[in-house]
Structure 1
Amino acid sequence: MAVCVVIMIFVAGTAITIGNFSIGILESYEVIWNHITGNIIDEQLDFIVIDLRLPRIVTGIVAGAGLAVAGVAMQSILKNPLADPYTTGVSSGAGFGATLAITLGVSFSTGQYAIVINAFLFALVPAFVIMSVAKMKNASPTVMIMAGVAIMYIFNAMTTVLKLWAKPDDLAGVYKWQVGTLASTSWSDIALIAVVVIIGIIAIQYLSRKLNVLATGDENAKALGINVDNLRIICMLLVACVSATVVSFTGLIGFVGLVAPHVVRLFIGADNRYLVPASCLFGAALMISADLIGRTILAPTVLQVGVITSFLGGPLFLWLIIRRKEDIWG
């Protein structure tokens, strides 16, 4: 966890230096400190660092932390190493909501947040459908996964139909949103994302002991007084809210919620009391590192962070499969 904090500090400082205006790492942190203390020396430099570059980095930290912890929760309640925050169909629901707003202009709101609100509300639909099905058929991992897959295919089909009808400019907008980016958030957006993510992380950390008991098997957990079905549904709701909030502002950023918990397990094991905070830090470090790579590898061309996380996540996950011990979930 200490290593992840050091990585975040170094990568954040490096990312601030990248741009048309050259700024040193130490100078960037000095500007941030001066802004916090109200001792602004250079207003132009303060604007570049605080208003232009820092929001992207903070968004990456918050989004990475939220997706990683959501991944921990999903893998724990479903006891499936392939589970991630999007297993519930959150990504497909958000994608349909955003596509609906971009291509047809149909949204629950107007203005700059039309796409965000649409994506958020439709992202919650699959989670509520899954919870309803789980209530009827018992909240077993198999039922929840199958319901999530079914909802995902339905929303993906509807999104494809909208794309076929879309104008070229609208289709380009949909594609840009689906790739995932950290560049389109403001401080007010970050505040909203951070509130939801922090509450979700605290709640999942609070449930970490029960998740450890659940890992021993449903029967053992019930024998120890845990309502297994309710625990799964509560965790599902928390994951849905965190994931939907992040996705609605950043678009679809894959592999962070899937890979981050697996990497952390290699170092600290499967105890959720430590896995949750460690994954939180590693996910944040992974996200801003991926964004930094995307901004520098083909500079001045910028690759969206969603592309980089997929490039990194695929080979890394394959390596984890080869290296994984059978008792890593122990």
Structure 2
Amino acid sequence: MPISSTSRASTTAEAGSASNPRLSARRRLARRTWWTCVALVLCLLLLVVVSGAVGAVDVDPTQAAQIVLGHLVPGMPWMSDGSLTPLQDQAVWQFRLPRALLAGLAGAGLALAGALMQVTVRNPLAEPYILGVSSGASVGAVLVIVFGSAALGGLSLNLAAFAGALGACLCVAALARKDGALSPTRMILAGVALGTLFSAVTSYLTITTSAQNVVSVLFFLLGSVSAATMSSLIGPALALGAAVVVSGLLARSLNALMTGDESAVSLGVDATRLRGLLLVVASLLTGTVVSVAGGIGFVGLVIPHIARIVVGADHRRMLPVTVLGGAVFLMGADLLARTVAAPTEIPLGILTAFVGAPFFLWLMRRGGAERAGFGR
């Protein structure tokens, strides 16, 4: 019986894959990345619906989905069947949905910033917070809380936090330069020193202000998305979109930088300029998130590490998983923060540390850093 051309081509392709194990491994990783991203997107959709249903106002998940779809697709009959009240609509659309979306944007932004920073310093324990960016943003925000926006030229709390993050970024870049190049070791040392200094300033402002301001300061420093509105999503969404585009275009250069400066230069990558760009992108992204969600740590440390273990260190695969994983992680953490001690709400910074620190220590115990490509 003659063999068809299709069967012959399939047999040839299989033989080619069998003779090239590296190509076969890349295909397996590509499939794993695809299905991981699909699973994370489904988790995001599920978390949006569940978050919309959880709260003081009684709304079940089906009703929460009806409300969201009714606003996204006007004219559909879901909102006019009489089963949904204006209070339910307001609770889901104006309060719970913006909160869930802001948590997702903040988690994605912090995770991406952490991934970029780990490449910048070639250290799996690096994250934007270690460079003092979060502490700089906190100083700007606390100054507005304590002295008012008029004392800072009319800057709002969000803009003051963003300005503090940008100032910290510029200070770290200036202190980390050695012989005209950015030194990864000096960046970490400068970041730790500046972060400690900024934290001391924040602590001094906190203990010298009124009790009412102390509550506001602590709530901001510990992180929360409870005050989210649709308008507060614009800044993080724009920053995340720009960072995703830039990091996607630089994915191959990031891979080269991971191998070391000499190898990167031999491949045509300007390591110093790339490090400077990554520092700015990660810091501005972190500053934007901190300005609307406060100090939420650990996301940028753990999520990129897990993504590398799951899909490998190639940034063309790792970055999408990191962004989606960060969004899922912080949305889930916010849902727990609202429910685990209800009616009391746990600050996100506390919850992410409790959840993430033991898991990260377990990963280190299992040798995750080496498997993620940082063990060289």
Question: Does 1:297 find its partner at 2:297?
Answer: no
Counterpart pick for 1:122 among 147, 164, 184: 164
* CA–CA separation in structure 2 for the residues paired with 1:23 and 1:43: 10
Match of 2:357, as an amino acid?
G
Q: Deviations over 1:42-94 (max 9, x none)?
A: 56133221112100000011111111011110111111111112122111101
The answer on whether the counterparts of 2:309 and 2:371 sit within 8 Å (CA) in structure 1 is no
The answer on whether the counterparts of 1:67 and 1:243 sit within 8 Å (CA) in structure 2 is yes
Question: Does 1:13 find its partner at 2:49?
Answer: yes
* CA–CA separation in structure 1 for the residues paired with 2:339 and 2:362: 25
Partner of 1:96: 139
Counterpart pick for 1:235 among 255, 275, 278: 278
Question: Does 1:27 find its partner at 2:63?
Answer: yes
Match of 1:273, as an amino acid?
R
Offset of 1:132 from its aligned partner?
2.1
Partner of 1:139: 182
Counterpart pick for 2:249 among 206, 224, 227: 206
- Structure 2, gaps ≥5 residues long: 1-36
Partner of 1:225: 268
Aligned length: 328
Offset of 1:253 from its aligned partner?
0.4
* CA–CA separation in structure 1 for the residues paired with 2:85 and 2:61: 18
Offset of 1:26 from its aligned partner?
2.1
* CA–CA separation in structure 1 for the residues paired with 2:49 and 2:275: 39
The answer on whether the counterparts of 1:55 and 1:190 sit within 8 Å (CA) in structure 2 is yes
Partner of 1:3: 39
Q: Deviations over 1:82-141 (max 9, x none)?
A: 11121221111011111111122255354xx72111111011111111222344542121
The answer on whether the counterparts of 1:66 and 1:201 sit within 8 Å (CA) in structure 2 is no
Partner of 1:175: 218
The answer on whether the counterparts of 2:95 and 2:228 sit within 8 Å (CA) in structure 1 is no
Partner of 1:71: 114
Match of 1:28, as an amino acid?
A
Offset of 1:185 from its aligned partner?
2.0
* CA–CA separation in structure 1 for the residues paired with 2:177 and 2:171: 10
* CA–CA separation in structure 1 for the residues paired with 2:360 and 2:231: 34
**TM-score, normalization: structure 2?**
0.84
The answer on whether the counterparts of 1:262 and 1:320 sit within 8 Å (CA) in structure 2 is no
* CA–CA separation in structure 1 for the residues paired with 2:148 and 2:238: 28
- Structure 1, gaps ≥5 residues long: none
* CA–CA separation in structure 1 for the residues paired with 2:126 and 2:167: 19
* CA–CA separation in structure 2 for the residues paired with 1:32 and 1:128: 41
* CA–CA separation in structure 1 for the residues paired with 2:74 and 2:324: 29
Of stretches 29-38 and 234-243 in structure 1, the one that deviates more from structure 2 is: 29-38
The answer on whether the counterparts of 1:131 and 1:233 sit within 8 Å (CA) in structure 2 is yes
Residue 108 of structure 2 aligns to a residue whose secondary structure is helix
Query: If you compute each CA radius of gyration, which structure gives the higher value, 1 or 2?
Result: 2
* CA–CA separation in structure 2 for the residues paired with 1:265 and 1:5: 18
Residue 99 of structure 1 aligns to a residue whose secondary structure is helix
Match of 1:85, as an amino acid?
P
* CA–CA separation in structure 2 for the residues paired with 1:258 and 1:50: 32
Runs of 4+ in 1 over 6 A off after TM superposition: none
Match of 1:92, as an amino acid?
S
* CA–CA separation in structure 2 for the residues paired with 1:309 and 1:2: 24
* RMSD (Å), alpha carbons: 1.6
* CA–CA separation in structure 2 for the residues paired with 1:208 and 1:214: 10
**TM-score, normalization: structure 1?**
0.95
Residue 87 of structure 1 aligns to a residue whose secondary structure is helix
Residue 182 of structure 2 aligns to a residue whose secondary structure is coil
* CA–CA separation in structure 1 for the residues paired with 2:153 and 2:307: 40
Partner of 2:27: none
* CA–CA separation in structure 1 for the residues paired with 2:105 and 2:207: 34
Partner of 1:193: 236
The answer on whether the counterparts of 1:93 and 1:126 sit within 8 Å (CA) in structure 2 is yes
* CA–CA separation in structure 2 for the residues paired with 1:167 and 1:192: 30
